Amino acid sequence: MSSDAMAIRNVEVGSLPLVETLHGWLTTVDHKRLGILYILSALLFLAIGGVEALIIRIQLMRSHNDFVSPEVFNRMFTMHGTTMIFFVAMPILFGFANYLVPLMIGARDMAFPRLNAFSFWLSFLGGLLLYFSFLGGSGLYGAGNAPDVGWWAYAPLGARAFSPGHSSDYWTFALLVSGFGSIGTAINIIATVLCMRCPGMKLSRMPLLVWLNLVMAGMVLIAITPLSAAQIMLVIDRYLGGHFFDTQAGGSAVLWMHFFWIFGHPEVYVLVIPAFAFLSEIIPVFSRKPIFGYPVMVAATVAIGLVSTSVWAHHMFTIGMNSYANSFFAITTMAVGVPTGIKIFNWIGTMWGGRIQFKVPMLFCIGFLFQFLIAGLTGIIQAAVPFDWQLSLSYFVVAHFHYVIVGGILFALFGAFYYWYPKMTGRMLSERLGKWHFWLFLIGFHLTFDVMHVPGLLGMPRRIYTYEPGRGWDTLNLIISIGAFIQAIAILVFVANLIISYFKGAKAGNDPWDAWTLEWSTSSPPPAYNFATVPVVASRRPLWDLKHPEDPDNQYE
Amino acid sequence: MAGLIIAESAIFTIFVVAYLFYVGKSLTGPTPQEVLEAPIFFTICLLSSSLTIHFAGKSLERGKHGAFLILWSLTILLGGLFLYGTGREWRRLIYERGLTISTNLFGTTYYSLVGLHAFHVTAGLFMLSMVLIFGLAGRVGADQFRRVDVLALYWHFVDTVWVVVFTVVYIVGR
Amino acid sequence: MRCTQKSIANVVVLTVALLLCSAASEAAHSPSTGLTNIFSPESTPAKSIFNLSMFVLAVTGIIFAVVFTLLVYSVVKFRGNPADAGREPAQVYGSTQIELAWTIIPILIVVVLFLATARVIHAVQDAPKPATAVEVTVIGHQFWWEYRYPRLGIVTANELHIPVSDPAHPTPTFLQLLSADTDHSFWIPQLAGKTDLIPNHPNRMWMDPQRTGLFLGQCAQYCGTQHAKMLLRVSVDTPEDFGAWVRAQQRPAIQDQKVAAGRRVFETTACINCHAVGGSAANGRFGPDLTHLMSRETIASGAAENTKENLRLWIQKPDAIKPGSLMPAMQLSDADLDALVNYLETLQ
């Protein structure tokens, strides 16, 4: 991919033979290539996870449907959730972080390039291991099958007694393996950001994307590890006769829930904070103004990171905690909405008074703003604990978190794709196809996930392979399923765009968007060594200073 | 290394929480009071090894290779003694007192927590031994003391965890 | 051109919103026998939740309207046009006063929401149990519900009967929630919020339905293959009807000589390993108590109507009704099966 773009002029480099190119990619320690590998593997799992979602939606199109058996359905939602969180969202965000962080801080690579490669391959191996379960996870009924305990694997459902065979073990080990990869990446990001910034780039001059990925990495260290610990305990229970979650021996199913959600809640902030990072880079450029309130944005993110470690039991409001515990988690959950809201206001403040350009990256970011607003509010709604006693475990929650992950994170990711694809490949993505992608996906998204709130309000629980007619859920589910297919078509348009533009897209040049951070100062794609000379910066927007020497940023901040 | 220590601390915290949560909740015996004997001697071994590794690092910094190698070997020896002590205690618990990981909640949490720590000691000893081999081959120069210090930080972490585990298992839990 | 794009967006959002509203109202007014609509509460806990939810929705609705308007305004008013190319707008870096404003106001909103929430949490969770309460122990199984009324000496399954509660002289029902295997959740939206059934972790909940009728729900915590068909039926009876039902349940099993052959099949095949019939040799506890099987409208926890054909099918081939349930296919001859079903049909 990048073998034919060099910053050193007048040197002709012919294409290498295929085997050597592949070998280069397989053994690379270059953060840019690893970033692209993360992204490509995530896109592969996105397609698989998407198919699983479509199977779910076809089955639920009408009551008492028999498209798939209950056993298959239960595997589908387990695999869909596990795949999307661990093998799509986390890798793709790590991929963008890997690619962009060194470039944005003027470094030549990450602090530990080989650890970087190791972490990627661990993550990819985890995904393969999870899917191998379809072949090798011998259950009671013979041939292999995938885990079917839900992506939370609640105790005691994950115990040997209720989950015979090895399907749950594939879930456990796939996540243990990729979890170690995630910890490696997190350590790498922290070390890189703290130790490898170019001269002049004080912490207060880093692009927000770098700040936010730093916070994300810190959270990964303390969020993923509780899950790893709980999974080790589960393995001890399943294979060494342990009783951590064995309720017959006095063990506690609730303990698993606490451990899982101590991981699970910070995990979703690990996912959304990099999405915030994309917005914080893209919105300023397409509003032609700097980000409004940079220090507040940093402080708010740190606050979100800290407070989010204290909200986990809001996933457990129905398990029978006492009223004081319920009240505590209610207020912490509502409290975390405050810094999050501040960020939304700051993005609006960035657009305010600007000259907004509605290029495709910005369209996706505007979509994010509307949708994340709604997602955040449905979160606050659920923080009202008694209301959550109705809403929890229903399709209202499913609608809420898909609103965050698809309407929020995925939209931000699409924005990031359109924004940085030119830097990574040297070619622009097609604006026309991009607009088709955006509008189709927007319509499909809203059709599915706006409507999905309603069955929850009408009493439809989640994780059911079929439902009774006459409860008012039928038509709604049909609409939801139609929206899913529209989203699938939009994704196909997106993939087509990625492929076609790679060969036929307009040449991008260094800086197609007239942006201000360091990655736009080098060629597209950057050479292996990133910068011909290590940059020296004097403000938060070094390229703004270069383009506007009469009005440099460091006069004002 | 600091990042790794933070992550590992989180893992240990979860195991400690599980241990504390289940204190007194086993449905059957044996109980900690009945079978545990605090391994004072071997604890002293492990904690002293923090001292020896610290001085080993200092010696290397000052270029005293001989002292470095001796103190480094002493560290490994003391760590190995600690592991031996753990093994001996486990043998006693399993064969004489009938406590295994599957006996009851105490058994499960005890062997998991102490075992997790012992695993980290083993991994540490492995890394320390590699450095010893490099050192004996003359490849660890005085200019490498910072790298050796990173490993020593890990070792100090392992010792600190033992202080916590010891307190939780042998003091609080009884 | 940008204007029309935003208009299209607004039209899309409005269309979807309208669709939503019409779908919701269609569902709410659908003439089905039992609604599971959380906005049609018929019991005090559900009503407290409903009132809180209206307040919370109002507050978040206002927040949404305000921020939505700001968003739309900023996107429309500050759109650039190609004539601007090369000219940058004023570079504003922030404003401490604005930041303070939009920090303090949300904090105040949080305080208000929290106080409203905490009040209802305590009112519902910490409600004392009056002496007039009916006590039911609910035990969740994969994939059916066991009900025991300890003070009345009743054991039954899958269909709960409780008395209606007069607000002037309340007779609420207090449920103790236990589990025999994995996690479940008891959810009848019109009567109360849901509470989980977790092994080794007893929970309690209460409800005081204020009108008679049939209320529906289902298990809400994924519990395995047939989680979807672990349905709930609660019959809220008048005090007289409830009394009659209790007395009928307290009677021992009807002994009808005409079905002795079927009874023999029941007692000599594996049925009694799992099922109990009061006053007989059968006292298995793994499956539902069948003493008064015919007093129930459905079998397999709501998965099928309690008819002779379904009963026969359930015994012969449970996978046809609820694949993955723990009822085994009994592999009986047709003659034995017919006799057995005739026997079961006498268990009124």
Look at residue C84 and tell me whether its pLDDT is greater than 80: no
Position C281 scores a pLDDT of 84
Least trusted range by pLDDT, from A1-10, A79-88, B28-37: A1-10
Structure-model confidence comparison of residues A245 and B138, the more confident one: A245
Is C185's Cβ below 8 Å from some Cβ in A?
yes
- Kindly list the residues from chain A whose CB atom is less than 8 angstroms away from the CB atom of residue C97: none
Which of A229-238, A426-435, B22-31, C127-136 is predicted least confidently? B22-31
C contact residues 91-130, partner A, Cβ 8 Å cutoff: 91-95, 98-99, 102-103, 106-107, 110, 113-114, 116-118, 120-122, 124-126
In contact, A541 and A552? CB cutoff 8 Å: no
CA–CA separation, A485 and C121 (whole Å): 41
Distance CA A236, CA C280 (A): 44
Taking contacts as CB-CB distances below 8 angstroms, the residues of chain C near A470 are 30, 32-33
- Two tokens at C38? 């959380």
Give how far the C-alpha of residue B164 lies from the chain's centroid of Cα atoms, to the nearest Å: 11
3-class SS at A68? coil
pLDDT on residue A145:
85
Looking at residue A482, what is its pLDDT? 97
Enter the tokens of residue A396. 């209202």
CA A216 to chain B, closest CA, distance in angstroms equals 13
Is the CB of C222 less than 8 angstroms away from the CB of A326? no
What is the rounded distance in angstroms from the CA atom of residue A133 to the CA atom of residue A126? Answer: 11
**Does the distance separating the beta carbons of B10 and A226 come in below 8 Å?**
yes
Report d(CA C305, CA C310) in Å as an integer. 7
Mean pLDDT to the nearest integer, C154-160: 95
Cβ neighbours of A251 in B, within 8 Å: 22, 105
Determine whether the interchain pair A251/C200 forms a contact, defined as Cβ–Cβ distance below 8 Å.
yes
What three-state secondary structure class fits A483? helix
Interior angle at CA A248, CA A141 and CA B119, nearest 5: 85
A181-238: pLDDT as tens digits: 999 999 999 999 999 999 999 999 999 999 999 999 999 999 999 999 999 999 999 9
State whether B7 and A186 contact (CB < 8 Å): yes
Residue A3: per-residue pLDDT: 35
Question: What residues in A contact B4, CB-CB < 8 Å?
Answer: 183, 187
- In 3-state terms, what secondary structure has residue A262? helix
How do residues A190-203 score in pLDDT, each as one tens digit? 999 999 999 999 99
In chain B, the residue whose alpha carbon lies closest to the alpha carbon of A248 is B27
Contact A183 B105 (CB under 8 A): no
Q: Any bridge partners for residue C157, and if so which? A: C146
**CA distances to A448, A449, A483, C202 from A454, in Å:** 11, 9, 15, 31
Spell out the residues 6+ positions from residue A232 whose beta carbon is closer than 8 angstroms to its own.
A176, B11, B112, B116
Q: Does A193 touch chain C (CB under 8 A)?
A: no
Report residue A13's pLDDT band, with 50, 70 and 90 as the boundaries.
low
Structural domains present in chain C: 2-21+39-79+95-125 (1.10.287), 134-250 (2.60.40.420), 257-344 (2.60.40.420)
Check residue C62 and give its pLDDT.
97
Closest-approach residue (CA) in chain C for A159: C182
> Could you tell me what percent of chain B has a pLDDT over 70?
100
The residue that leads in pLDDT, A556 or B139, is: B139
Q: Which residues on chain A are in Cβ contact (under 8 Å) with C223? A: 157
User: C91–A289: do the CB atoms touch at under 8 Å?
Assistant: yes
Q: Are strands C203-207 and C159-163 parallel, antiparallel or unpaired?
A: unpaired
Whether residues C75 and A465 touch (CB distance < 8 A) is answered with no
Q: Return the number of CB contacts < 8 Å for A and C.
A: 330
In a mutational test of the B interface, the residue from A193, A225, A256, A263 whose CB has the highest number of chain B CBs within 10 Å is A225
> What does the pLDDT read at residue A17?
87
| Residue A59: how many other CB atoms lie within 10 Å | 23
Among A53, A41, A36, A33, which Cα is nearest to A405's? A53
Identify the closest residue of chain C to A335 by CA–CA distance: C110
The strand ranges marked E within A107-185 are 138-139, 142-144
% of chain C at pLDDT higher than 70: 90
Q: What is the pLDDT of residues B21-45, one digit of tens each?
A: 999 999 998 999 989 999 999 999 9
Question: Of C224, C191, C179, C304, which is closest to residue A464 (Cα–Cα)?
Answer: C224
Residue for token pair 């690579």? A109
- Whether the per-residue pLDDT at C273 is higher than 50: the answer is yes
Contact across the interface for B112 and A244, Cβ inside 8 Å: yes
- Tell me how many residue pairs between chain A and chain B have CB atoms under 8 A apart: 80
pLDDT of residue A551: 86
- Distance from the A154 Cα atom to the nearest Cα atom in chain C, whole angstroms: 8
What is the per-residue pLDDT for A106? 96
Residues A341 and A369 sit within 8 Å (Cβ to Cβ): no
Summarised one tens digit per residue, pLDDT across range B76-100 is 999 999 999 999 999 999 999 999 9
Question: C196 or B142: which carries more pLDDT confidence?
Answer: C196
- Give the pLDDT score at A139: 47
Handedness of CA C214, C216, C219, C220 (dihedral sign): negative
- Give A 404-423 residues with CB within 8 A of chain C: none
Question: CA triplet B35, B39, B42: central angle to 5 degrees?
Answer: 155
Residue C20 has pLDDT above 70, yes or no: no
Closest C-alpha to A358, from A272, A296, A288: A288
Alpha carbons within 13 A on the beta-carbon side of A512: 23
**Helix, strand, or coil (residue A246):** coil
C270 touches chain A (CB under 8 A): no
**Which ranges constitute the DSSP H helices of chain C?**
2-28, 44-77, 96-125, 239-250, 260-268, 271-274, 308-316, 334-344
Chain B residues closer than 8 Å to A226 by CB: 10-11, 13-14
Q: Minimal Cα distance from B2: which residue of A?
A: A187
Q: What tokens does A511 get?
A: 């800086």
Contact status of C323 with chain A (Cβ, < 8 Å)? yes
CA distance C162 to chain A (A): 21
Of A337, A394, A556, the CB nearest to C110: A337
The residue whose two tokens read 């509660």 is C165
Whole-number Å distance between alpha carbons of B12 and C139: 36
Examine the predicted complex and report whether its ipTM is higher than 0.95.
no
Contact C63 A377 (CB under 8 A): yes
What is the C-alpha separation between C314 and C304, in angstroms, rounded? 9
Contact residues on chain C for A70, CB-CB shorter than 8 A: 225-226, 228, 323-324
DSSP state of C184: E
Contact A373 C68 (CB under 8 A): yes
C-beta atoms of B102 and A243 within 8 A: yes
How many alpha carbons lie under 13 Å from residue C338 in its C-beta half-sphere?
2
Helix (H, G, I), strand (E, B) or coil at C198: strand
List Cα–Cα distances, C65 to A370, B18, C20, in angstroms.
Answer: 11, 46, 18
Residue A368: CB partners within 8 Å, gap ≥ 6?
A275, A279, A407, A408, A411, A412, A415
At A510-552, the pLDDT tens digits run 999 999 999 999 999 999 999 999 999 999 999 999 999 988 8
- Kindly determine whether residue C122 and residue A394, on different chains, have CB atoms separated by under 8 Å: no
Q: Which of residues 226-265 of A touch B (CB under 8 A)?
A: 226, 228-230, 232-233, 236-237, 240-244, 249-252, 255, 259, 262
- CA C314/CA A231 separation, integer angstroms: 39
3-state DSSP percent of chain C in helix, strand and coil, to 5: 45, 20, 35
CA distances from A47 to B24, B135, C329 (A): 49, 51, 39
What is the rounded CA–CA span in Å between residue C271 and residue C294?
17
Record: contact A243-B100, CB cut-off 8 A: no
Give the whole-angstrom CA distance, residue A146 versus residue A163: 11
Distance CA C183, CA A157 (A): 8
Cβ contact, residue pair B104, A224, below 8 Å: no
A187 touches chain B (CB under 8 A): yes
Beta bridge partners of A507: A427
Q: Among A89-103, A131-145, A291-305, whose mean pLDDT is lowest?
A: A131-145
Domains and CATH numbers, chain B: 45-172 (1.20.120.80)
Taking CB atoms and an 8 Å limit, are C220 and A393 in contact across chains?
Answer: yes
Alpha-carbon gap: B64 to the closest alpha carbon of chain A (Å): 30
List phi, psi (to 5°) of C185: -150, 135
State the average pLDDT for chain A: 94
Domain regions of chain A by residue span: 18-555
Superfamily of domain A18-555: Cytochrome c oxidase-like, subunit I domain (1.20.210.10)
Encoding tokens for residue A191? 């070390």
Say which residue, C87 or A494, is predicted with more confidence: A494
pLDDT of residue C35: 81
User: Which chain C residues are Cβ-neighbours of A556 within 8 angstroms?
Assistant: 91, 93
pLDDT in tens, A376-419: 999 999 999 999 999 999 999 999 999 999 999 999 999 999 99
**A69 closest CA partner among A59, A61, A78:** A59
What number of CA atoms fall less than 13 Å from residue C137's CA on the CB side? 13
Per the listing, tokens 């460091």 go with: A554
Residues C65-72, mean pLDDT to the nearest whole number: 96
DSSP-assigned states of every residue in A113-125:
HHHHHHHHHHHHH
Can you give the pLDDT at residue C1?
41
